Amino acid sequence: MNRYATFGNALKGIVRIGETSAVLATTGLSWLRGNRPPTPRLVRQTFERLGATYVKLGQFVASSPSLFPPEYVNEFQYCLDKTQALPFKYIRQVIEQELKQPLDKVFATIDETPLASASIAQVHAATLITGESVVIKVQKPDVKNILLTDLNFIYWATRIFERLFPKIKFASLSAIVSEIQECMMEEVDFYKEAENIKQFNEFLKATNNPLAIAPQVYPQASSLRVLTMERFYGVPLTDLETIKRYAKDPANTLINAMNTWFSSLMFCESFHADLHAGNLMVLTDGRIGFIDFGIVGRVKPDTWSATMAFMESIGTGDFEKMADSMMKIGMTSQKVNTTDLAKDLEVIYQAFTVVDPTSVLNGAVNDNEINQLMLEIVAVGEKHGIRFPRAFALLFKQILYFDRYIKILAPDMELFNDDRLQMFGSLEDLSQQKTVHRVLH
């Protein structure tokens, strides 16, 4: 049985490489016939045609301005992870294979029309036989095998590329692909996402926080490729008019969400790294709902204090301190002139406060503005020989999301200068962190 399964996977891998080659050949022929859009756009469009792995790769490019050229980072902001939904019969097969029993033994009802469909999974509303209202995140068939085949193909292609053109190896391409593979394998491990959710809820309990919640996971209806979670009812954080039905003070609701997230940086092993408006909900009971923990970041302990100092320096406008923190957070092999770096940062900082609030309601524009600021900071760092770890870029992007939400929900509030925000850790916080860590483990 294992021999046949291995042979089957190998055969699927060969077919997948053939499909990839066909798409690349079609793109090449189109180019030769004169259809020549800008290279970044051509690459992005090709990635979207190639499917799951390449869409995720494009999103990785978009969120890693320290690793890729700015024209590609900008273009891949448009890389869409919305795919046509699979017929429900395929989803049923995955659920029953994973849970090892018929669907009606676990779920009383299930809506065959998905709530959402992306490259890796699609989501369906359902009711458990015990009566709970849930959503089921179901991995699409063969996704992991496709990811591994594609990533191995990309890895060996980059190794060959590095050998053929060693002079242009500004960074190890194969090392970047290895990092991408690690991130993607986490996304297809629903046990890992369930653990991320569990840790976040345990953190809320340990810190006595009744203002926020993450969905409960139902282990009896979950597996490596199926994740069944409590269904939340509410509206996105930026739906200002509807929020008022559930929260008397939208500004205070936002502050609660921000304080919860900043506290999680101190007390959780990982932080939620995808805080666009769709993943922050105001529930019908007024609480903040954090959903979709598939993408998380991790700040290493040795860079945490420097990260806090960097954020604090933004609030105080201390550019020397900001420059010193950047040097400690980033990776550099040369001596950095912090005075010159501070001057460059001051120029960026002045532009940082000029934001159109309506951009928050326009997702594409909002992401572009956030990304542009990220690129400017990264460019200044690189000018001085500093390259940031991806986790820092993820963390800072979430802070910029919050800055945009403030413009909509609390326009009189300043992100880094408001007594209601508890953003920065003190010695007392670090002592509490040790206590909470013991409770969580």
For 403-430, how does the pLDDT look when each residue is reduced to its tens digit (9 = 90+)?
Answer: 778 888 888 887 767 778 876 544 345 4
Residue 346 lies in a domain: no
pLDDT of residue 231: 98
Give the residue with greater pLDDT, 53 vs 41: 41
CB proximity list for 17: less than 8 A, separation 6 or greater: 149, 153
In this structure, the answer to whether residues 112 and 20 fall within a common structural domain is no
CA distance 262 to 265: 5
The percent of residues in the chain predicted with pLDDT above 90, rounded, is: 28
Residue 287 lies in a domain: no
pLDDT of residue 35: 66
Count the domains in the chain: 2
Give the residue with greater pLDDT, 32 vs 327: 327
Is 274 annotated as catalytic? yes
In this structure, the answer to whether residues 20 and 124 fall within a common structural domain is no
CB proximity list for 390: less than 8 A, separation 6 or greater: 63, 64, 66, 67, 179, 297
In this structure, the answer to whether residues 46 and 102 fall within a common structural domain is no
Evaluate if residue 115 carries a pLDDT over 60: yes
pLDDT of residue 370: 59
Mean pLDDT across the stretch 341-368?
59
Domain boundary among 131, 161, 191: 161
In this structure, the answer to whether residues 14 and 29 fall within a common structural domain is yes
> Which pLDDT band holds residue 359 (cuts at 50, 70, 90)?
very low
Please, what's the b/e burial string for 208-218 (b: 16 or more CB within 10 A of its CB; e: otherwise)?
ebeebbbbebb
Tokens of 422: 């508890």
pLDDT of residue 166: 62
Instruction: Note the pLDDT tens digit of each residue in 281-293.
Output: 999 999 999 999 9
Of 239, 274, 324, 403, the active-site residue reads 274
In this structure, the answer to whether residues 48 and 151 fall within a common structural domain is yes
Mean pLDDT across the stretch 251-266?
91
Total number of residues shown for the chain? 441
Residue 60 lies in a domain: yes
Residue 419 lies in a domain: no
The percent of residues in the chain predicted with pLDDT above 70, rounded, is: 75
Q: Which of 95, 61, 100 is nearest to 78 (CA)?
A: 61
In this structure, the answer to whether residues 43 and 136 fall within a common structural domain is no
In this structure, the answer to whether residues 68 and 157 fall within a common structural domain is yes
Give the residue with greater pLDDT, 340 vs 332: 340
Which contacts qualify for 122-128: CB closer than 8 Å, 24 or more apart? Answer: 122/85, 122/86, 122/91, 124/88, 124/91, 125/231, 126/228, 128/218, 128/221, 128/228
pLDDT of residue 418: 76
User: Which residues span the domain enclosing 19?
Assistant: 2-81+144-161
In this structure, the answer to whether residues 17 and 44 fall within a common structural domain is yes
In this structure, the answer to whether residues 33 and 99 fall within a common structural domain is no
pLDDT of residue 93: 97
Q: Whole-prediction pTM value? A: 0.76
pLDDT of residue 371: 61
User: What rounded mean pLDDT belongs to the chain?
Assistant: 78
